Structure 1
Amino acid sequence: MRRTDPEGHGPVRYGPPLPDDGLPVLPELAAVLAAAAGRAESEPIGGGDALLEAACGYWGRRGLPTEPGQAVAGPGAPALLLALTFALGGDVLVPRPCAAWWAPYARLLGRPVFHVATPAESGGVPDPYALLETVRRVRAEGGDPRLLVLSVADDPTATVAPPEVLHETVEAATGEGLHLVSDETWRDTVHAPHDTVLVSPAEMLPERVTVVTDLAGAHLPPGWPAAIARFPAHDAGNGLHARVLDVLTALGARVAGPVALAAAYALAEPEPVTARIAATVRLHARVAAAAHTAAVKAGALARPPRAGRHLYIDLGPLRAGLSARGVGDAQDLEDHLAARLGMPAPGGHRFGDDLAALRVRLSTGPLLAGTDEERAECMSSPSPLELPHVQRALIHLKSVFDDLRDEAQRREPPR
């Protein structure tokens, strides 16, 4: 029997976490958390006033005016998506591939999940024609599709969907009566914000879109779980807001008190937070670009990363070389690359992709790994890719890809 490691893999016990930034915690943020360590009272279900007001300010600065009655906070985006899925009912539609944590919560509730193909230029948002076809097929087979989950700035593909593609998909979803959940965890990590137009579906269809943002995307360390959700205004969202609070109450899903204060501080976006986010985005954009270049030069396929701290690579062109090493599917690829690279390399099947496809998501955070001093130096160096520990990591990554290319070339039949 293969792959029997007790905690290593599997659809239940193993799920790739959100890519972290690989950097020390912002000192000002750590100070807020430390000052709140003596706080004994519990944060209310759905978030206290200070946290919800900060969330409203955050959305308002992004063109989404929000009242506190439209907002909810929870201990991470998974808890909020679980509550939303339960509250909305029906079947769930997601793009292929999609964030690894989206589908398990629907399946946990016994809700069917249907994957929809994405357009060639980006992931995260289903192709509108494929969406219409999938909805009609599901209904013809007796299903009840009600919820579409999408992400404009995407995990795992690290792409940003163009507004015109998003608009067509939103129109298609509206015509079919779907409610949309827009996962905007990575919206503040766009690599070239002056050259990239990012539009939230909630700007296009405010009455049918709920926005969910996990603060581990840009504002908080992953070990401090907190997320916020923005519901449609007035009657369109009041009932859903109430049902979600009911579910969070049943789960006891509160944000920890000290974390709530840190989250409110981060969402207010004082200068230390905004400067840190901007510097982190610049750093990871450079590392992601270097990793993308290494993969593509070796013959792999990958869209250029435009957001986040990761990239999604298709090693199908190197299948001959991988087959010679016993790699036949995405799980084999995950095992092989994780061992060779010494870092997590979740296969595409973790994100709803075809198991037979040789695709993998790599995170840039592990390429910055080192001592606390070395990681801090990444933030201040004008040439972070030339720092010895980062350079070593990138050279190793390139050598692994080059070895696979060379092996594939040796296996090619003579012409």
Structure 2
Amino acid sequence: MRILITTDVFTPTVNGVVTSVLNLRTQLMRRGHDVRILTLSEDNISRKEENVYYIKSFGVNIYPDARATINFHNEYIEEIIDWEPEVIHSQCEFSSFIFAKVISKKLNIPIIHTYHTMYEYYTHYFIKNKSLGKKVVSFLSRKLLNNVTTVIAPTQKVEEILKSYGVENNIVTIPTGINLEKFENEPIKHEIDELKEELGINKEKKVLVTIGRLAREKNVEELLENMKNLLIKDNNLVLLIVGDGPFRKELEKKAKEISIDENVIFTGMINPKDIHKYYKLGDIFVSASQSETQGLTYLEALASGLPAVCKEDLCLRKVIINSYNGFLYKNSNEYLEAIEIILNDNNLYKRMSHNARKVVEEYSEKSFGRQVESIYLNQLLENGAFLTQQGRYSSTFSN
């Protein structure tokens, strides 16, 4: 198949959407498909790099790092139309979705859309009234998604929320796959020791690690408050906060205000190629976010063998299982108790670490690519395209 993926964000940006698109492209190409990506550039210059088209864009204050464009008659769009993709898989709801609709209408081809972002958790960036913000998101999501052929939800949480918005279209839940290999492999010991020394982490310290963009909706403040209470009982702990974002300065200020800054380390932005090493610095993965659609960092942490202690959320159903590979908590007391239980029982820790790796096996990128491919093929079959292509897709079913 000739498959066009449209997305507002792509490399060099690092986030869950980009990771998903990269993994999907890799798997589809391995299965013999011709894949191109249409995205927005990080500046006011359009360019083409191999099979990735970057359309010039500008920043907009909708949510962090959001970009938009008015360049809807770009020469690259004409080049894509001449290429004649057979299916479009859109990944974002703004500018690149407009491209998807234009190309879909021109070629009369289906759009499959993955709903990655729970915008109701981001409305504080542009609407102060939370209730009004949710109504706006509900209306816009319903209007947009009822115009695509199939919606892919990364988790049951997203599927249920979309249905509550009144989305009546076909919704299929497919977890975003990750490349497990680099997280599963044991690191070179001296590299981890050197990284600990570089960050100022004493080898005797136990490390709670959280990884992700530092924004208000990620609720990292709660981790700081919980850390203050943990240190009352055990000063041999470090909270390692990996990543950067618009809320970092406020979090650093908060750590100082509550006098825990000596036990909290902010790494800032790191090279994505090294991310697996930072998981290996930790003893437990922690998160207080409830704004995730799936949360790839949870899966990466589990693949790294880290027990997880995370705030209860529907997206973590069957991912983090109480007393099996970690704990889900509802309040600070449950969080403190979970951390204490895991760190004070070596046998339990080893068992949870083993179980963490077992749980994440079903989230491989191969499984992800295979399931998404089946959506494309079913859609083409429904449209009657399969009958007019002289059996050209039949080999795909045998893979």
Bin for the TM-score computed over the shorter chain:
0.3 to 0.5
The higher relative CO (CA closer than 8 Å, separation ≥ 6) is in 1
Q: Relative to total residues, which structure has the larger strand share, 1 or 2?
A: 2
